């Protein structure tokens, strides 16, 4: 079979740019999520139309669908108040940050623009500035608050009569208006003190729970900002950054009675090796205080309860795994009737399911959901009807096991009802009275459908939208192909997608590029419909671009997920390579002798690992901000999968330790101000490569944070694949002015923090913006 010709030319780059910039505009009737108006049965949403977008109002009770407002009249009013030209199809409400709020009577909208707040009357169609824009700051209570001593104001009791605060490292209360403090604790000392942020009043205002905290190791990592915008000289800063193995804060809860001035300390032996203590909260009747104990190593997760009159603590639920309890996708609970019963999520039977506990005895009453499928999340619990509304995937044999559907089930495990039917992944939005719901569903290869349902019988009241992609397909866009093949065990299906160039010729052979992110905290192949503009634009340069979820990622069975345990380097590669070969067996155009791979963050680690551990298959890699050695990365993510204490498995998975095995072409990318992954992780790979006398390429990005380099980094990446997989020289970007198109500022798809990126000198020249759209 002949190799494809003509790829990597300036014309290909321009066509890629055209697809990336215009694709979304060519999807007609693509809806946003519905926004319910107050407590009514009415909602609105935005859809794409030729030339822009429009806003639609629906009354679910009457099934009447109409424009939300007169678009032309509102455009005229906005033009006047904003001092710019606004048209009916280009109203300046396109993102969540720029969106408006609709009044309950639909008589007006309010919105912020720049630093001003505005109101537009939808009867008179006049707009006026109403003041200064405000941003609501919501502080999260509970959670990790005991670790973050950032609270400063006294904590007032629920009845408003007393304040609790910290004096000389100890808990003190004082009646509001009084100057006489009452000391409740005497065991707090410097370095082992009670923290203000941990204080929790009981609902009856008679008791307090608080944590005494002995700080762990405060690792500070340095950053040098080489090119600050406000001065010539570089800046040195440091940042708190815990890494695997670092000593953690020791937290010890106590309960205090205010009137009796008694203290009950939790026996530290009950929490011998805490990673953290979570969800500190009182029972509604103030009889007890509860919290969740997450043991270091993430193999044990418990719910504990301290009784207020005795201080005796008991383990209500004890969840244990030989590998890990996933804090990212499995930990969930809801107390029923003030803890008389507890709904709990667990993977103990090999799949992520819901269980019902007796809160008094701590015994399992029954397993609520069961089967070889996965509960993806709980939406609502109807305590009165003893029903759970939840999302799940994998229930339909022969279908993509990642597609999400909505269900309802009774507490006792009976009465399982599917609320969604279409062959796709579903997002459901309920009316405030839960009499109606809007189901928006799609697949990566099927445009969205939006339906209005009646809750009582799940019937479809109306199909509101069905996205039309005809114009996009006429412009050359091709729908991704969903493909599955057997994994390493010969039994399990591995799922991925294939994206081909718009001028794809099946008679010719195309190099393959894999977009990888194998982080165990989730799955990553897109399932809902979107432009996939980033991967599509890369394909336009003459490649077939794919994305795969191998073993070790989440949202399948526990056994599937456990492949990652203490073996991040596996990254599902045995499954990925089999998947590639299955595609090649079906399509002669799929050239597995020329396979590239790229990724960011964990994907950066994975893509470099492809060349180190599987050089017989992968030939070219571009790795951005990789966590190349899990001992160098953040404590939370890495101890979750690689275990504690730090053992030899960390070195076995390290790209630094194995850098001397490098074969193929490797481009490493790092931003000097990456606060997510320590930039020195990449530098240590480079050090090891130099010591091993290995050739590599490197793109250093001054001022850049965690990402693949925005517009600049994306074009460098694309050029790297064109040069080393296609074997042709990319365009000479230094000779191409931005007026000729394809300048870095002219292309979309850059990182969300693109304003942080700065251009740096490179032999590659300016590069085209393109980013992974997940």
Distance CA 608, CA 565 (A): 20
Distance CA 306, CA 266 (A): 8
Question: Which pLDDT does position 21 carry in this prediction?
Answer: 67
Distance CA 315, CA 288 (A): 13
Q: What's the 3-state SS for 50-90?
A: CCEEEEEEEECCCCEEEECCCHHHHHHHHHHHHCCCCCCCC
Distance CA 480, CA 583 (A): 14
Pairing of strands 508-515, 126-132: unpaired
Stated as kind and residue range, the H or E segment containing 577 is helix 573-586
Contact between residue 179 and residue 223 where contact means Cβ atoms under 8 Å apart:
no
Q: Which of 287, 209, 288 is nearest to 251 (CA)?
A: 209
DSSP one-letter code for 571: T
As beta bridge partners, residue 175 has 162
Contact between residue 283 and residue 290 where contact means Cβ atoms under 8 Å apart:
yes
> Token match 């006047």: residue?
80
Question: Which pLDDT does position 147 carry in this prediction?
Answer: 38
> What are the percentages of helix, strand and coil residues in the chain, rounded to 5?
20, 35, 45
Around Cβ 118, how many Cβ atoms within 10 Å? 20
Question: Which pLDDT does position 620 carry in this prediction?
Answer: 98
Question: Which pLDDT does position 756 carry in this prediction?
Answer: 27
Residues in the chain: 774
Contact between residue 684 and residue 656 where contact means Cβ atoms under 8 Å apart:
yes
Question: Which pLDDT does position 712 carry in this prediction?
Answer: 92
As beta bridge partners, residue 277 has 293
Q: Which residues of the chain have pLDDT under 50?
A: 136-151, 739-774
| DSSP-assigned letters across all residues of 239-301 | EE---TTPPPPEEEEEEEETTTTEEEEPPGGGSTTEEEEEEEEE-TTSSEEEEEEEETTSSEE
Stated as kind and residue range, the H or E segment containing 465 is strand 460-466
Question: Which pLDDT does position 134 carry in this prediction?
Answer: 75
Q: Crossing angle of helices 573-586/602-613, nearest 10°? A: 70
Distance CA 659, CA 665 (A): 13
- ω before 141 within 30° of 0 (cis)? no
Contact between residue 515 and residue 533 where contact means Cβ atoms under 8 Å apart:
no
pLDDT in tens, 497-547: 999 999 999 999 999 999 999 999 999 999 999 989 899 999 999 999 999
Contact between residue 655 and residue 605 where contact means Cβ atoms under 8 Å apart:
yes
Q: Which of 436, 455, 640 is nearest to 554 (CA)?
A: 640
Task: Kindly report the average pLDDT of the chain as a whole number.
Answer: 92
Distance CA 92, CA 364 (A): 54
Distance CA 529, CA 448 (A): 7
Answer yes or no: pTM beyond 0.85.
Answer: yes
């Amino acid at each position: 079979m002949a190799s494809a010709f003509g790829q990597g030319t300036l014309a290909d780059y321009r066509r890629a740019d055209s697809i990336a910039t215009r694709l979304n505009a060519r999807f007609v009737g693509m809806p946003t999520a519905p926004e319910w108006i107050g407590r009514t049965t009415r909602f609105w949403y935005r859809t794409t139309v030729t030339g822009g977008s429009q806003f639609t109002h629906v009354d679910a009770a009457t099934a009447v669908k109409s424009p939300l407002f007169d678009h032309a009249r509102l455009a005229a009013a906005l033009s006047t108040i904003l001092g710019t030209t606004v048209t009916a199809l280009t109203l300046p409400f396109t993102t969540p940050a720029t969106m408006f709020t609709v009044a309950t009577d639909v008589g007006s909208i309010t919105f912020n623009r720049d630093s001003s707040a505005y109101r537009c009357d939808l009867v008179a169609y006049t707009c006026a500035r109403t003041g200064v824009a405000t941003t609501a700051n919501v502080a999260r209570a509970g959670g990790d608050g005991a670790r973050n001593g950032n609270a400063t104001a006294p904590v007032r009791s629920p009845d408003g009569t007393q304040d609790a605060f910290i004096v000389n490292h100890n808990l003190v209360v004082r009646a509001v208006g009084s100057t006489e403090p009452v000391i409740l604790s005497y065991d707090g000392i410097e370095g082992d003190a009670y923290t203000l942020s941990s204080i929790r009043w009981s609902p009856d205002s008679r008791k307090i729970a608080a944590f005494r905290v002995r700080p762990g190791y405060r690792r500070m990592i340095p950053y040098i900002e080489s090119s600050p915008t406000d001065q010539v000289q570089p800046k040195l800063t440091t940042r708190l950054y815990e890494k695997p193995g670092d000593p953690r804060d020791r937290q010890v809860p106590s309960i205090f009675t205010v009137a009796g001035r008694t203290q009950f300390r939790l026996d530290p032996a009950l929490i011998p090796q805490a990673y953290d203590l979570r969800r500190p909260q009182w029972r509604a009747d103030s009889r007890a205080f509860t919290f969740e104990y997450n043991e270091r190593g993430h193999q044990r997760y418990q719910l504990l309860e301290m009784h207020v009159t005795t201080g005796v603590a008991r383990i209500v639920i004890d969840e244990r795994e030989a590998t890990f309890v996933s804090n990212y996708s499995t930990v969930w609970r809801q107390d029923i009737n003030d803890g008389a019963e507890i709904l709990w999520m667990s993977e103990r039977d090999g799949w992520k399911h819901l269980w019902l506990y007796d809160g008094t005895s701590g015994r399992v009453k029954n397993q609520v959901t069961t089967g070889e499928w996965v509960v993806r999340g709980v939406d609502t619990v109807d305590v009165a009807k003893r029903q759970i509304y939840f999302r799940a995937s994998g229930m339909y044999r022969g279908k993509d096991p990642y597609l999400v559907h909505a269900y309802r089930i009774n507490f006792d495990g009976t009465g399982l009802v599917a609320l969604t039917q279409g062959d796709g992944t579903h997002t459901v939005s309920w009316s405030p009275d839960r009499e109606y719901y809007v189901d928006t569903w799609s697949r990566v290869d099927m445009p969205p459908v939006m339906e209005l349902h009646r809750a009582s019988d799940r019937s479809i009241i109306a199909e509101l939208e069905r996205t039309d992609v005809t114009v996009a397909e006429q412009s050359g866009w091709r729908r991704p192909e969903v493909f599955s093949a057997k994994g390493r065990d010969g039994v399990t299906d591995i799922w991925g997608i294939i994206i081909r160039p718009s001028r794809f010729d099946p008679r010719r052979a195309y190099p393959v590029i894999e977009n990888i992110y194998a982080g165990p905290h989730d799955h990553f192949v897109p399932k809902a419909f979107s432009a996939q503009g980033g991967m599509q634009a890369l394909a336009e340069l003459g490649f077939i671009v794919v994305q795969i979820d191998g073993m070790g990622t989440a949202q399948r069975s526990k056994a599937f997920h456990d492949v990652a345990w203490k073996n991040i380097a596996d990254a599902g590669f045995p499954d990925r390579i089999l998947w590639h070969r299955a595609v090649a067996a079906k399509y002669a155009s799929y050239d597995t002798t020329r396979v590239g791979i790229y990724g960011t963050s964990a994907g950066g680690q994975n893509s470099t690992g492809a060349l180190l551990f599987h050089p017989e298959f992968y030939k070219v890699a571009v790795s951005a901000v990789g966590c190349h050695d899990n001992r160098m990365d953040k404590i939370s993510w890495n101890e979750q999968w690689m275990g504690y204490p730090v053992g030899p498995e960390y070195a076995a998975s390290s790209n630094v330790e194995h850098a001397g095995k490098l074969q193929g072409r490797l481009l490493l990318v790092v931003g000097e101000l990456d606060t997510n992954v320590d930039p020195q992780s990449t530098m240590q790979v480079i050090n090891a490569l130099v010591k091993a006398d290995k050739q590599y390429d490197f793109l250093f990005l001054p001022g850049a944070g965690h990402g693949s380099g925005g517009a600049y980094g994306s074009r460098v990446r694309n050029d790297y694949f064109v040069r080393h997989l296609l074997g042709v020289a990319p365009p000479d970007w230094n000779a191409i002015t931005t007026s000729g198109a394809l300048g870095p500022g002219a292309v979309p798809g850059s990182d969300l923090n693109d304003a942080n990126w700065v251009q740096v000198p490179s032999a590659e020249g300016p590069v085209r913006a393109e980013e992974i759209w997940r």
